């Protein structure tokens, strides 16, 4: 596991950007955290790391936004869906096993349908923290590919430029 503390949305985006540079087709990232935790801010960074141009917003009402950079980025938000079977009806398998990287907000709601091998990112505001911008980002790998990816991410994120 990798844990980082950020003190601004820009710092959260920077960690996402570092991850975006490492993603490959078929990668799945489950994003977890309460409403307003910074999941979409993190995705904005990932999109930058993938070379995506344009504005990144939450797909809460459209469910899936497709963006194109070095590889396709499929930004999925399942907050408004009630069950894993509801998510299956939107054709999620086509994305999960497709030609791009999937970043799925509210992944904790649909864990049974996600691939066993994936990266989980949990973003939360620390308890007893007075600064509304501070976040803890915990990244957990599931599977050998993601363990290697996390090691590379650690070396990038901990590097002093």
Domains parsed from the chain with CATH numbers: 2-157 (3.40.50.300)
Q: Which pLDDT does position 84 carry in this prediction? A: 74
Cβ proximity of 98 and 115 under 8 Å: no
pTM comes to 0.91
Q: Which pLDDT does position 131 carry in this prediction? A: 85
pLDDT digits over 98-122, tens only?
899 999 999 998 898 899 999 999 9
Q: How many CA atoms lie within 13 A of 150 on its CB side?
A: 21
Q: Which pLDDT does position 59 carry in this prediction? A: 83
Q: Which pLDDT does position 89 carry in this prediction? A: 79
Q: Which pLDDT does position 159 carry in this prediction? A: 63
Could you say which residues of the chain have pLDDT below 70?
Answer: 158-161
CA 120 to CA 74: how far, in whole Å? 16
Q: Which pLDDT does position 91 carry in this prediction? A: 82
Q: Which pLDDT does position 120 carry in this prediction? A: 98
Cα distances (Å, whole numbers) of residue 112 to 21, 23, 30, 102: 28, 22, 12, 16
Q: Which pLDDT does position 158 carry in this prediction? A: 67
């Amino acid at each position: 596991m990798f844990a980082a503390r950020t003190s601004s949305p820009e710092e959260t985006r920077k960690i996402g950007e570092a991850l975006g540079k490492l993603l490959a087709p078929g990668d799945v990232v489950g994003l977890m955290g309460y409403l307003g935790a910074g999941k979409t801010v993190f995705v904005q960074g990932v999109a930058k790391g993938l070379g995506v141009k344009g504005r990144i917003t939450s797909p809460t009402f459209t469910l899936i936004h497709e963006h194109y950079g070095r590889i396709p980025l499929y930004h999925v938000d399942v907050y408004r869906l009630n069950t894993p079977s509801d998510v299956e009806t939107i054709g999620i398998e086509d994305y999960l096993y497709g030609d791009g990287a999937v970043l799925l907000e509210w992944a904790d709601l649909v864990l049974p349908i996600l691939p066993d091998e994936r990266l989980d990112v949990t973003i939360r505001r620390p308890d007893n923290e007075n600064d509304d911008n501070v976040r803890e980002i915990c990244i957990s790998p599931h599977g050998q590919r993601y363990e290697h990816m996390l090691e590379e991410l650690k070396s990038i994120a901990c590097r002093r430029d």
